[in-house]
Amino acid sequence: MSENNQQLLDSVVAKAKVWLGDAYDDETRAEVRRMLDADDKTPLIEAFYRDLEFGTGGLRGIMGAGSNRMNIYTVGAATQGLANYLKENFKDLPQISVAVGHDVRNNSRLFAEVVANVFSANGIKVYLFDSFRPTPELSYAIRELGCQSGVNITASHNPKEYNGYKAYWEDGAQIIAPHDVNIIRCVEAITDISDVKFEGNKELITIIGKEIDDKYLAAIKGLSLSPECIERHKDLKIVYTPIHGTGVKLIPESLRNYGFTNIIHVPEQDIPDGNFPTVDSPNPENASAMAMAIAKAKETGADLVVASDPDADRIGAVIRDAKGEYVLINGNQIVMILLNYIITRNKELGRLKGNEFIVKTIVTTETIKSIADKNDVKMFDVYTGFKWIAAVIRDLEGVERYLGGGEESYGFLAEDFCRDKDSVSAISLMAEIAAWAKDKDMDFLAMLQDIYMKYGFSKECGISVTRPGKSGAEEIQAMMVNFRANPPKSLGGSAVTIVKDYGSLELTDVAAGTKSKLDMPVTSNVLQYFTADGTKVSIRPSGTEPKIKFYIEVKGSLESAADYDRANADAEAKIEAVKADLGI
């Protein structure tokens, strides 16, 4: 063993032995002892080589014993740090309050109760949901109840081994500057588990549930733009699956509220289960996760297939292609369809007054920019993550009207009474769009083709390269360094004309040989390349998983629906050429 490796192991062993002390429960001590005694020290190193980082979005990691794992101690320390900051920031309030929710994952209820206990032990009033709820409802509850903060225990669509901790601010959005770095400072100051107040005060914990559900669902019903179309097509066949997650709680009810009467379930996947037993991954952007819903659609001749991820903030959708086969549409297309509908219907209803805006993330399709420009609607580009979309909504609140916003990773927000992506409202509106399209003798495919013909054809491809563990994190970092040092000269046969480096907030105009500053609130580890023919490539490490992500968008032309297959084939060939140039 090299000297460096021995030093790492020695530091890990010393750190792990602290977890054998009386401050930790029997189960935790036994798990740590097993790792210490094992011949293979890899699990021990992975569990203790660092502290699970409380980042700008909170925590996310594999569950288990150790400082680099999600457990009651890392969750407790994070909550103590957040409580300390809330007491510092809102010291003049007579009573600070928070809302706490959770998803269906293993240990989620346990972690949520730990969060509630730590907050209440610090004199903070807690509104704790009675059971699992969609993430966006937690955001709604913060605003509705006038809370100063909130926590949701969820790892979104990560594999079953993971759990997470999302921290929210008083506007119902995930935390951004200056509060993010200040909270991180307070969390990092918790260096000993004895600093955490685990013994809760039951008098400060209020259980909430149906009363918030009803208000939230009523607000979502208020987003409907075409109730008369739904009335004419209320028996539309809609297959919905929550993929064992929280969506089962509210999404079928929201569809019924909208007026739909023919909601077809996938019974096996209606069962909440943190092991996600019927899928390899509970991610609705993966075809395998949608297989059972598609089978049900084939069996019933469904018009639309929709899904939510385990915490019901992301939406998946399946439509019929020209051959009658059920195919997934990607996150870019979902956002594009929803925004096109909302803008179009607002225009038809005479509601566009010139002060409307939409928001997308920088890695999401540029076709949305075309839709906004041609309809005289302002569009904002922000970093990945709905906290940045929420920040624009907050900055323009009471001045301009938010119509909707989304990101390519299957997230959309149609409302401003919630400040995180919301599959409950998105799925309700997607069903309404199906009814609206049917009223025009169109199906989803024809509607999608119509958008491409009006606003320009594009095709996107997302690729994630996974590199787990400490060595993987180092490899991902090295890849970003290499792309910065050696940017491609061309992609897919077209010259790179613009390079955007959000790490340095620098835009390089390759053709002109000039540099300028990018107008963004903070730096971010993202690179973008734009080519002469409209191709866009974005590269960024994931903030929640051991992955580096590549987002490829290529442009094309679509003159008629009959030309759709050709346009797709040409775009796929170009994407393959771009991938080859990137070495992925």
The residues that are catalytic are 156
- Residue 362 to residues 326, 408, 453: CA-CA distances in angstroms? 29, 9, 23
- DSSP E strands in 1-124: the ranges are 58-62, 97-102
User: CA 326, 328, 332, 334 torsion: positive or negative?
Assistant: positive
- List the structure tokens of 549: 């992500």
Q: Residue 553 belongs to what H/E stretch?
A: strand 547-556
Residue pointed to by tokens 């008369």 = 228
Residue 357 three-state SS: strand
Both tokens of residue 355? 């002060």
As a whole number of angstroms, the distance between CA 71 and CA 168 comes to 20
Evaluate the omega torsion of the peptide bond into residue 178 and state whether it is cis, within 30 degrees of 0: yes
Partner residues linked to 309 by β-bridges: none
CA distance 315 to 414: 13
Q: What is the DSSP string of 141-182?
A: HHHHTT-SEEEEE--TTS-TTEEEEEEEETTSSBP-TTHHHH
Please name which of 253, 309, 262 lies closest in space to residue 135, comparing C-alpha atoms. Answer: 309
Cα torsion 337, 339, 344, 346 to 10°: value is 140
With 0-12 / 13-18 / 19 or more C-beta atoms within 10 angstroms meaning exposed / middle / buried, residue 21 is exposed
Q: Which amino acid is at 389?
A: I
DSSP sequence for 245-304: SGGGGTHHHHHHHHT---EEE-GGGSS--TT-TT-SS--TTSGGGGHHHHHHHHHHT-SE
CA–CA separation, 362 vs 500, rounded Å? 11
Cα–Cα distance for residue pair 189/562, rounded to 1 Å? 62
Measured CA to CA, the distance from residue 59 to residue 108 in angstroms comes to 13
CB-based burial of residue 426 (10 Å sphere; 0-12 exposed, 13-18 middle, 19+ buried)?
buried
Dmax over Cα atoms in the chain, in whole Å?
A: 74
Q: Which residues pair with 275 in a beta bridge?
A: none
Among the listed residues 68, 198, 37, 55, the one whose alpha carbon sits nearest the alpha carbon of residue 468: 68
Instruction: Say how many C-beta atoms besides its own lie within 10 A of residue 277's C-beta.
Output: 11
